[in-house]
Structure 1
């Protein structure tokens, strides 16, 4: 079985951050979201992995390399434009050959990993198996209806009147039958070839399609709020450790990671939180829910529920929360102001 990771999207909902950084490489708990998916694929026993890339392909190639660091053998597959998930599969047709494959969206986080759906698919080998999660508003997702024994009986993409609350969670297992289902698809109303339409065709043609219910949590990290939520959830699962230097007047409480080379002086770190390698935190309060990336500088500030990317600096900022600060961005305070939220792209500067 192969894996196919889709990493060609442009991340328009995360701009300006994604003008200079692929959305799949935005870090949560100081690790790019894409890396969690690659690790989950390897944990499921899959080693051959194709990554579909688009305009941001060079940065993804530099970050992932040949996949050896994850125990994978990675092949990069160029998609000329983001024309839908089914189009991405057709782009990978030659690479996939006649193999079964797991498809994983590169900006999706699944807390349980993908081992469950891989094992279930291998045991029953339906034409397709899809991971499903209950959601409060299914209108923003592909939606499935299940019949007896977990069989999928109907699928719709972003329906105005959903017939169930079961959303497709961005993880799919397919036999080669999906390629025939994709052939001849017409673009949807939003101009894309929808994988939901291809799976629905499998159902109509009498193929067995099954649904696996998610038992943990799942997030599409395409929005700022979702990224920050995933960041906090992952921080809560870290093993506390202090590899850097924390001086005697600082306090550290809860789940906190201070990475090697980091320095904490005269500060309070409240978990869950992480301070990245080479970062300096001085005279500040950090956390809860804060990820300070590598080589950052935080001085005289209060930061919570936020993500600082590598090289960012924050000086004299009080009450900074629910924010994402891009690489090498600088935040400096002016006279006292109420709590504010900021989302900054790389190499930007703001005063609050």
Structure 2
């Protein structure tokens, strides 16, 4: 099985850390961040990873190479200009096969059990499976509603509290898009080439409208978007407190060091 990591962003919210360093290799616990994502995917049986790159791409390629030293195969898909989340993955379409594809947003630190998500996707015979995570305040995110069977019923971008109250009878109203998907590669046939295109705002709502089977897998594992400095700091605190299962290099010398 293959995975795509969407890692072409400019990292503007993390500046000044990203002025001269691409976000995927900004250190998290003294390790280039993307290595935490690669290790998670490798641990769950992913043999080949396609990295979507744009900003300072050569630095990332020099660090990772072909992936052999990491026990996987790495291939690269370069964006000359940013194409949106779905548009970026569309550019790598020639590298896909007929198997389900794991897609991973490049901002996410997590220890989500990807094997469980893949198994759920296959069990439900889904076209798309979205990993969902619970948050206390979903008004800053994209809310995804599911029915009792886990099938996605609604997408609501940055809902108001009034909207959340109205949706309460339909299912959980604290579940947001965790930025990790398992998809049938055929979905990219409907994405126009060389066009800015979004998973969240265009492709997924279109798939829902077509009635293709789309499911949500709700995970209770640690999840953090590290794309802002405050969240970047929180991720380090979570690692120091053993709240997230990631590989840490070095020896513990104190409770928090």
Give the TM-score taking structure 1 as reference length: 0.64
Select the structure that is richer in strand. Answer: 1
Runs of 4+ in 1 over 6 A off after TM superposition: none
Query: Which residue matches 2:197?
Result: 193
The answer to whether the 8 A contact 1:144-1:167 is kept is yes
Give 1:181 deviation, angstroms. 4.1
Identify which of 165, 173, 177 aligns with 2:182.
Answer: 173
Number of equivalenced pairs:
244
Instruction: Provide the secondary structure at the position in 1 that maps to 2:221.
Output: coil
Question: Which residues in structure 2 correspond to 1:1-352 (within 5 Å)?
Answer: 1-159=1-159, 163=167, 164-183=173-192, 193-196=197-200, 197-237=202-242, 257=251, 270-273=254-257
Instruction: Provide the secondary structure at the position in 1 that maps to 2:103.
Output: strand
Instruction: Provide the secondary structure at the position in 1 that maps to 2:5.
Output: strand
The answer to whether the 8 A contact 1:185-1:198 is kept is no
Give 1:83 deviation, angstroms. 2.7
CA distance in structure 2 between the partners assigned to 1:48 and 1:200 by the alignment: 28
Instruction: Provide the secondary structure at the position in 2 that maps to 1:156.
Output: strand
Residues 62-99 of structure 1: CA deviation (Å, up to 9, x unaligned): 22111123221110001122231111121111112433
State the Cα RMSD in Å: 2.5
- Runs (5+) with no aligned partner, structure 1: 187-191, 244-256, 259-268, 274-352
Instruction: Provide the secondary structure at the position in 2 that maps to 1:87.
Output: helix
Return closer, same or farther for 1:8/1:72 CA change in 2, 3 Å cut-off: same
Give the TM-score taking structure 2 as reference length: 0.86
The answer to whether the 8 A contact 1:66-1:73 is kept is yes
- Runs (5+) with no aligned partner, structure 2: 168-172
Query: Which residue matches 2:170?
Result: none
